[in-house]
Chains A and B, each alone.
Chain A
Amino acid sequence: MTMSYHSHADLGGREGCGHVVPEPEGELWHAAWEPRAMALTVAAGATGAWNIDMSRAARETLPAYARLSYYEIWIHALERLLRERGVLHDDELADADADADADRPRPGSPPPPRLLRAADVPAVLARGAPTERPAPGPARFAPGRRVRLRTGAVPHHTRLPGYARGRVGVVESLHGAHVFADTHAQGQGEQPQWLYTVVFDGGELWGGATGAQRLRVSIDAWEPYLESA
């Protein structure tokens, strides 16, 4: 674990990002490589060599995050995950001629934990990877309770957005216990925790001006993110 951890992906509330550009519903791809990049990422993830929280951590800490398109982020992070596990080696990609030398001897690579076969794709997609687990104990907070979201720097992947840190909201609902992203991303296991929907008034998050929008915002927060307020 490094001393500091910085996510480039925590964008909620950032100003000066410009306008949203809508696009038609049927417009799935914007370059020929994008469908392969999407499928490659899904298939490599299905090997089980890493989990979804590890891949989110690999993406959000890419130094080039803000410059890359989303599927570029996926590919850069995929390469990084593969390098970290000794599946890809330095310069191997640069040397790889897509068609020519498939039989050339390559540096050793570990086998994948699993291989996703074409015949299994429909079932694997339809099954997904549910994250609900038996609860570790009773839930600490009930619906209606006021809670303050944890504050302070977190030296690892987390799913508590910056704009909610230190803010006071109300527990709206419980979703059972779920795999805890923070430990899961660090290879420290699932350590299931109660998951809550916590709702904030717009004014609590952004001050009075946005209160005029009659806005409420909710996040889904694991119990370790919460304290009584």
Chain B
Amino acid sequence: MHGMTQGDHDPGHEYEHEHEHEHEHSELGAMDLRVRALESLLAAKGWIDPAALDAIVDAYQTRIGPRNGARVVARAWVDPAYRDWLRRDATAAIASLGFSGRQGEHMVVVENTPDTHHLVVCTLCSCYPWPVLGLPPTWYKSAPYRARAVRDPRGVLADFGVVLPESTAIRVWDSTAEIRYLVLPMRPPGSEGLSEDALADLVTRDSMIGTGLPRSPSPA
């Protein structure tokens, strides 16, 4: 990140020894062993059920991800009453489509307009609306995003290849408590005749965080 190379570390850090130790096995091998050992110990002690871990992984690989949020957005694009419900009580409106719970207990939806573009971050950790977007991408949890999103959001958007008009104001939402935010992007031009399913296919994860825009419909 700062042009440092292996062996170029600052030796003054107390965690250096542990870090170097992990490199002896290579980072991945060491963590593989560590997590496996922890899981088997906790199973032996009766603290976890390995089958529950399988069920959790399966849920976030197959059921709980950004396609859920895309359904919410597509519904809001075609149904003004639903959009209004999202404004008044996003938690209930989203739950009506079957998406609720862990890390989405208290939802707020923020709507992009030509005047204002919304961007969501968690500068303090990695708070993210899991029921509608699933697990956060690595960059969302990374120092560059968390550091810059609140200070230089146009620079962050440039990293994603997004350039907004100068006239568009930016509103950044730092998720510092248990409210979780979902961006409702603007419906792309040329999507007028599309079905709700086809509209959902235009909605990207990044467009619901605010670091991207929805896809444009491909010409028929």
Contacts and interface: CB of A to CB of B under 8 A. Distances in A.
Interface residues of B, number: 90
Contacts of A118: 49, 51-52, 54-55
B176 A161 contact: yes
User: Which among A43, A44, A125, A163 has the highest number of chain B CB atoms within 10 Å?
Assistant: A125
A175 B106 contact: yes
Given A131-B105, A213-B153, A22 B36 contact: no
Interface string B86-127: 000000000000001111111000000000000001011110
A128 B52 contact: no
A29 B199 CA distance: 27
Contact of A122 (B33, B55, B57): B55
Given A130-B106, A175-B179, A216-B171, A88 B41 contact: yes
A117 B52 contact: yes
B172 A35 contact: no
Contact of B154 (A40, A120, A213): A213
B84 interface: no
A112 B45 CA distance: 9
Contacts of A75: 31, 34-35, 38
A33 B35 contact: yes
Given A82-B42, A118-B55, A205-B150, 4 more contacts: A117-B52, A128-B102, A195-B177, A213-B153
Interface of B: 1-2, 13-15, 18-19, 28, 31-42, 44-49, 51-57, 59-61, 64, 66, 100-106, 121, 123-126, 131, 134-135, 137-139, 141-154, 156, 159-160, 166, 168-179, 204-206, 211
22 contacts: A13-B151, A17-B1, A20-B211, A21-B142, A22-B211, A31-B31, A33-B36, A35-B60, A39-B56, A43-B49, A59-B125, A69-B138, A75-B38, A106-B45, A128-B105, A130-B106, A131-B177, A159-B176, A163-B123, A195-B177, A213-B152, A213-B154
